[in-house]
């Protein structure tokens, strides 16, 4: 199973390079999305796990991350069928776009399935190299700047993570391995001084990839300049992959009895992420950039939930699922808005409800989902985190948490409502009518599916999924 999911995109890229047909390129992206989903489903049903490779395996911790990646990729691939029809680029450029999507998803899949910290580090860097082209795809001035900033900052982050791995290896003493299972077994014997220093470097290194402040600077530019399907993958799956590596390292700290220090660092970076979003959300002129800052906020919430521990771990997994689906829906819908209005500027978009009712409702529902409006599953996750803070006596942190979330909610809500219900000028109406043909039916369906899941999980979590979430908590 795992051999197939890892080798398929490599073979597909070779075939795409030989055949060189735009229709075939789109077919291979869809084929990989379907194969990825089928294999992930089988692995979730415990079919084929025994054939795992020594460096890649499915366990209780990474299974939920793999399921989220597979579902989001399937929805993005479906949306992408309509999106690529709007491209007016040479076939070669579209082929490179499709190939890089496959390599990007392969790198994220490998990062999630990796059983070795060294392999995970290599594949995290592979996600940077493959997605840099996708960010640069439109080849505008801002896209080039975003791609360079992305490569530069993430490369620095990866370098810091590498230093952290070296320091971790020093702390292990005679334990000469980076295999997670071996590190967990021997963690109690690690040198605490070297280990805590290693955690700082790895948290900042992989945290840069996760989008945690204050090493988040690449994220707003990259998410706003990338094509909308790529923005959805960056926000809904790439950040999760980096977060999983941090979770793995956090467990080493827990088993080594250095939990207090690790929790403190996660609290700091989590609240800084919320604060940065609360400050910048009121000064944003680009609606895709606004969604990018929302991702920084939600990564901060995941860090805070991890720092809280206990029942908050359950909330972290729920929040990860809800954010991934809601934010993917939000970014894909922003692609519809961009096709209709031809601009990313907030002040240039209004009257969306009159221009395209389906896109307007998707825009509003995506906002309600991401802002934790009942019955969004994010309402449950944030409620559990607030309850945990109160039970643990973190009253000031609880007040700050709620205050920052409220500020962000108001900032995003103001923009969403203005865009949806504002006046539609005659010039804009003419432009929208000319561009409506670019938004095909298949560019609405994935968002509706993901939003239905988000709002349903806020009311009912199937026992099968609940068991997977409970098993994943053991990885913390």
Confidence of residue 51 (pLDDT cuts 50, 70, 90): low
Domain boundaries, the chain: 2-473
**Virtual torsion, Cα 331, 279, 454, 303, nearest 10 deg:** 110
Q: State pLDDT tens for residues 402-424.
A: 999 999 999 999 999 999 988 88
What is the value of pTM for the model shown?
0.94
- Average pLDDT on 249-260 reads 92
Q: State pLDDT tens for residues 363-399.
A: 999 999 999 998 899 999 999 999 999 999 999 999 9
- Asked whether the predicted pLDDT for residue 20 surpasses 90, the reply is no
pLDDT of residue 119: 94
> Which of 445, 164, 160 lies closest to 329 in space, CA to CA?
445
Q: State pLDDT tens for residues 91-119.
A: 888 899 999 999 999 999 999 999 999 99
Quickly count: other Cβ atoms within 10 Å of residue 92's Cβ: 10
- Asked whether the predicted pLDDT for residue 432 surpasses 60, the reply is yes
**Virtual torsion, Cα 125, 129, 131, 137, nearest 10 deg:** 160
∠ CA 292-294-297, nearest 5°, is 120
- Asked whether the predicted pLDDT for residue 52 surpasses 70, the reply is no
pLDDT of residue 255: 92
pLDDT of residue 274: 95
- Asked whether the predicted pLDDT for residue 53 surpasses 80, the reply is no
- Average pLDDT on 15-32 reads 91
Q: What percent of the chain has pLDDT over 70?
A: 99
Q: State pLDDT tens for residues 133-192.
A: 999 998 888 899 999 999 999 999 999 999 999 999 999 887 888 899 899 998 888 989
């Amino acid at each position: 199973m795992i051999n197939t999911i890892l080798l398929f995109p490599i073979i597909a890229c070779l075939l795409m390079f030989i055949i060189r047909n735009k229709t075939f390129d789109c077919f291979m992206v869809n084929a990989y999305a379907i194969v990825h989903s089928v294999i992930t489903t089988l692995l979730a049903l415990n079919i084929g796990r025994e054939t795992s490779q020594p460096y890649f395996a499915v366990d209780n911790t990474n299974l939920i991350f793999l399921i989220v990646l597979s579902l989001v990729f399937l929805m993005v691939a479906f949306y992408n069928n309509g999106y690529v029809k709007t491209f007016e680029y040479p076939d070669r450029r579209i082929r490179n776009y499709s190939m890089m999507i496959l390599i990007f998803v392969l790198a994220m899949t490998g990062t999630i399935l990796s059983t070795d910290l060294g392999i995970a580090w290599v594949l995290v860097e592979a996600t940077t190299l493959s997605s840099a082209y996708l960010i640069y795809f439109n080849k505008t001035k801002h896209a080039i700047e975003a791609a360079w900033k992305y490569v530069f900052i993430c490369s620095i982050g990866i370098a810091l993570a590498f230093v952290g791995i070296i320091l971790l290896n020093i702390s292990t003493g005679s334990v000469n391995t980076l295999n997670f299972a071996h590190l967990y077994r021997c963690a109690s014997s690690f040198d605490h001084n070297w280990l805590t220093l290693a955690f700082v470097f790895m948290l900042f290194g992989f945290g840069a990839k996760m989008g945690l402040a204050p090493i988040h600077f690449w994220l707003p530019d990259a998410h706003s300049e990338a094509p909308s399907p790529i923005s959805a993958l960056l926000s809904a799956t790439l950040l999760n992959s980096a977060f999983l590596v941090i979770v793995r390292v956090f467990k080493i700290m827990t088993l080594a009895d250095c939990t207090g220090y690790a929790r403190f660092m996660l609290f700091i970076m989590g609240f800084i992420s919320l604060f940065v979003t609360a400050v910048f959300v009121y000064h944003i002129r680009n609606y895709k950039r606004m969604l990018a800052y929302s991702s920084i906020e939600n990564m901060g919430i995941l860090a805070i939930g991890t720092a809280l521990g206990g029942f908050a771990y359950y909330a972290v997994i729920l929040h990860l699922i809800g954010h991934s689906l809601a934010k993917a829906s939000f970014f894909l819908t922003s692609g519809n808005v961009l096709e209709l209005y031809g601009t990313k500027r907030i002040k240039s978009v209004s009257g969306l409800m009159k221009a395209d009712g389906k896109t307007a409702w998707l825009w509003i529902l995506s906002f309600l989902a991401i802002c934790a409006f009942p019955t969004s599953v994010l309402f449950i996750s944030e409620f559990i985190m607030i309850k945990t803070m109160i039970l643990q006596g973190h009253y000031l942190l609880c007040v700050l948490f709620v205050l920052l979330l409220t500020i962000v909610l108001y900032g995003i809500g103001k923009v969403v409502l203005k865009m949806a219900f504002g006046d539609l000028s005659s010039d804009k109406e003419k432009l929208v009518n000319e561009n409506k043909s670019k938004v095909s039916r298949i560019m609405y369906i994935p968002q509706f599916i993901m939003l239905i899941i988000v709002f349903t999980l806020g009311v009912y979590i199937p026992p099968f999924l609940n068991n997977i979430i409970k098993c994943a908590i053991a990885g913390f």
